[in-house]
Structure 1
Amino acid sequence: MKRSARTVRTVVTALATAATLAVTGCSALGGGEEADLQIYTARHYDLEEAFAAFTDETGISVEFLSGDDAELLERLKAEGDSTPADIFMTVDAGMLWNAAEQGVLEPVSSDVLDAAVPEDLRDPDGQWYGLAMRARTVVYDPESVDPADIDAVDTYEALGDPQWAGRVCMRDETASYTQSLVASLIDLHGREKALEIVEGWVANDVQIMSNDVELLEAIDAGGCDIGISNHYYLARMLEEDPDFDVELFWASQEGDGTHVNISGAGLVEGTESAPEAQQLLEWLATDGQSAFVDANHELPVNPEVEPEPLVASFGEFDRMPVDAQAYGALNSDAVELLDEAGYR
């Protein structure tokens, strides 16, 4: 039986006040009716359309509470057995691993999910599943970067080459995207080599941007020539303005592959709506995969689902395997490394 609406409102209000979390409640319903599923989500992209389609197909209604993933995880831990949440959804593989480690997720046994989601994009014990991929790769100004030079950027390390001095812009050190990229470099190359790579970026007088949109606009305006961004931000800009003068290059195709991260979800431990929550995850990974990823130009995790046309126009690429444990366990090391390298 679903928790009462009164219980949901009481718990959410009390804990929001105590923890002062910046979260926003939204619903795929209307009129204040209680939903069948409650989702805590750090994902802010076009949820209403996908969840409304799920409700239309299944009759299962969905309500979601949006916020920062770390804050939402702390909220789940604080609420414990009283949480109204049925699903925890986040935008970082390391955070999914961390949630599983802290015991807030409930294992799922699903042949549907195991078939739809590649092995490295899901927890081996079924505690979480990736549902969308975002590639973090090289973006550049085609007017100021010679084609021969961009072809030479086959690793993230190459942006520390002296030819890029004063020409590179990147995301700030507090972004989970930056931290997970650096954690993956530590995992692949060891701490000493990863530090050397980041120090190379810093030595090139890297310009630090507060978000990927600002970074892409700086490249388009000539403020820098090359940088690293999630692919879907560029797709958004091109959708709004086909003449936006920034191009994408798939990094490290001769090496470890382009770094990717995932948006994914798991069932909250103790949910009273486990069958419905599992049904939603299965739908998002199969029939609803395009509805979930296309509006934000993300990449489907399901290899049977084609990317939407604009993303497909970027071309195929080899991706770096996702190691959620490394992204999560090495996150603090990545933060310390960035600080030690003077990346700020």
Structure 2
Amino acid sequence: MHIRKTVLATTTALIALPVLPAVADVNVYSYRQPELIAPLTDAFTAQTGIAVNVAFLEKGMVERLKAEGDRSPADVILTVDISRLAEAVEAGVTQPLVTQTLTENVPAEFHDPDGNWWGLTTRARIVYASRDRVAEGDVTTYEGLADPKWQGRICTRSGTHTYMIGLTSAYLAHHGEEATKTWLEGVKSNLARKPQGNDRAQVKAIWAGECDISLGNTYYMGEMLADPEQKEWADSVRLDFPVFENGGTHVNISGVALTKASKNRDEAVQFIEYLTSPEAQEVYASANSEYPIAPGSTASDLVSSWGAFTSDSINLMEIAAHRADALRLTEEVDYDG
């Protein structure tokens, strides 16, 4: 059997985006870069004989799917962040999919209750803490980040960034609007500088002595350690895993969904089930310095070295439902001002 595999890349406007082959076994739109998922697609093809064609999009996935409608060649979408997964569901470009294999591989808190998307790996939103200036045990809860003891010692990226909105949405789910607004005001008052840059830029600021702690995703530690220039930043900090009072550590997710327009449904379902298998999750998680979520799966040695934690149990779709209010409150307190 001749198997064709095509990897397409696009960062251009919608009308200029490349078109996947009209006839293919499984067509995937991905926010994850092709090299990060190639080990999985190659292994799946080797096992099943089903070819996987991947179109890499930096942005505009939902807009493209809506524009294509029933004509879309995409069978599967791969993306990161609960906000993007929820956006796809709300836009009506996914379809429910529930199988015994999926429910066995993905814990309930890591998939849409209606089966519109399924989690693959998680990353925790944790605190990067200076090894020299912050004692172990000083950071225990997200609520504590508003404590005046951190005044002038915290760095974060923009409060309106998706990752920050995700954490604020989780705070809303736990504590309600009034308490969340007070918390945002408290964290803002503790900032050492105006929010700026990405998560790695905050670690650089800790290394440079501009602040002592920052919020960031765990996988950035893997990326920094692999970068000769940034390794020194990474070595200057420790990963602390705060929790919500009466809850766990906030996590976000990479996930997969079956498109509403899928023309190759049976093959797509096989691919999605494969991606959720413990073996595939371990490969995927290791490549991205994330945590696999399938029962029986284990994190890579590097990720495991950062320490164990208990994930918050609130379903991510419940957290996603608070996105609009989280953004509104962030703007009301002028967090980035």
- TM-score of the pair, normalised by structure 1: 0.85
- The SS at the match of 1:46 is helix
Is residue 82–residue 316 contact of structure 2 (8 Å, CA) maintained in 1?
yes
Question: Structure 2 residue aligned with 1:120, among 102, 106, 109?
Answer: 109
In structure 1, how many angstroms separate the alpha carbons of the residues matched to 2:223 and 2:106?
A: 25
Specify whether residues 295 and 33 from structure 1 end up closer, same or farther in structure 2 by C-alpha distance, changes over 3 A only.
farther
In structure 2, how many angstroms separate the alpha carbons of the residues matched to 1:253 and 1:162?
A: 18
Q: Which residue in 1 is equivalent to 2:143? A: 157
**Is 1:209 matched with 2:201?**
no
In structure 2, how many angstroms separate the alpha carbons of the residues matched to 1:272 and 1:318?
A: 39
Question: Structure 2 residue aligned with 1:251, among 228, 239, 242?
Answer: 242
Specify whether residues 188 and 14 from structure 1 end up closer, same or farther in structure 2 by C-alpha distance, changes over 3 A only.
closer
Q: Which residue in 2 is equivalent to 1:269? A: 260
- Report the AA paired with residue 164 of structure 1: W
Q: Displacement, 1:43?
A: 2.5
Is residue 22–residue 73 contact of structure 2 (8 Å, CA) maintained in 1?
no
CA RMSD of aligned residues (A): 2.7
Is residue 157–residue 200 contact of structure 1 (8 Å, CA) maintained in 2?
no
Q: Displacement, 1:167?
A: 1.2
Q: Which residue in 2 is equivalent to 1:218? A: 205
Specify whether residues 174 and 35 from structure 1 end up closer, same or farther in structure 2 by C-alpha distance, changes over 3 A only.
farther
Moved more, 133-142 or 37-46: 37-46
Q: Displacement, 1:283?
A: 1.1
Question: Structure 1 residue aligned with 2:56, among 58, 66, 78?
Answer: 66
- Report the AA paired with residue 288 of structure 2: N
Q: Which residue in 2 is equivalent to 1:175? A: 161
Q: Displacement, 1:180?
A: 0.9
Q: Which residue in 2 is equivalent to 1:143? A: 132
- The SS at the match of 2:296 is coil
Is residue 24–residue 67 contact of structure 1 (8 Å, CA) maintained in 2?
no
Runs of 4+, deviation exceeding 4 Å: 12-15, 32-35
Q: Which residue in 2 is equivalent to 1:232? A: 219
In structure 2, how many angstroms separate the alpha carbons of the residues matched to 1:61 and 1:141?
A: 47
In the TM superposition, what whole-angstrom CA distance separates every residue of 1:258-295 from its partner, at most 9, and x where no partner exists?
A: 10011101100131111111111111111311121111
In structure 1, how many angstroms separate the alpha carbons of the residues matched to 2:150 and 2:292?
A: 33
Question: Structure 1 residue aligned with 2:334, among 321, 324, 342?
Answer: 342
- The SS at the match of 2:114 is coil
In structure 1, how many angstroms separate the alpha carbons of the residues matched to 2:335 and 2:13?
A: 35
Q: Which residue in 2 is equivalent to 1:6? A: none
Q: Which residue in 2 is equivalent to 1:3? A: none
- The SS at the match of 1:194 is helix
In structure 2, how many angstroms separate the alpha carbons of the residues matched to 1:132 and 1:39?
A: 18
Q: Displacement, 1:112?
A: 0.8
In structure 2, how many angstroms separate the alpha carbons of the residues matched to 1:91 and 1:14?
A: 20
Q: Which residue in 2 is equivalent to 1:104? A: 93
Moved more, 198-207 or 323-332: 323-332
Number of equivalences: 322
Q: Displacement, 1:24?
A: 8.0
In structure 1, how many angstroms separate the alpha carbons of the residues matched to 2:196 and 2:18?
A: 26
In structure 1, how many angstroms separate the alpha carbons of the residues matched to 2:32 and 2:314?
A: 19
Q: Displacement, 1:216?
A: 1.6
Specify whether residues 13 and 49 from structure 1 end up closer, same or farther in structure 2 by C-alpha distance, changes over 3 A only.
closer
In structure 1, how many angstroms separate the alpha carbons of the residues matched to 2:286 and 2:12?
A: 36
Q: Which residue in 1 is equivalent to 2:3? A: none
Structure 2 gap ranges (5+): 1-7
Q: Displacement, 1:95?
A: 2.7
Is residue 24–residue 53 contact of structure 2 (8 Å, CA) maintained in 1?
yes
Q: Which residue in 2 is equivalent to 1:290? A: 282
Specify whether residues 33 and 202 from structure 1 end up closer, same or farther in structure 2 by C-alpha distance, changes over 3 A only.
same
Specify whether residues 319 and 13 from structure 1 end up closer, same or farther in structure 2 by C-alpha distance, changes over 3 A only.
closer
Residues 318-329 of structure 1: pairs in structure 2 closer than 5 A = 318-329=310-321
Residues 14-25 of structure 1: pairs in structure 2 closer than 5 A = 16-17=14-15
In structure 2, how many angstroms separate the alpha carbons of the residues matched to 1:89 and 1:327?
A: 20
Specify whether residues 254 and 189 from structure 1 end up closer, same or farther in structure 2 by C-alpha distance, changes over 3 A only.
closer
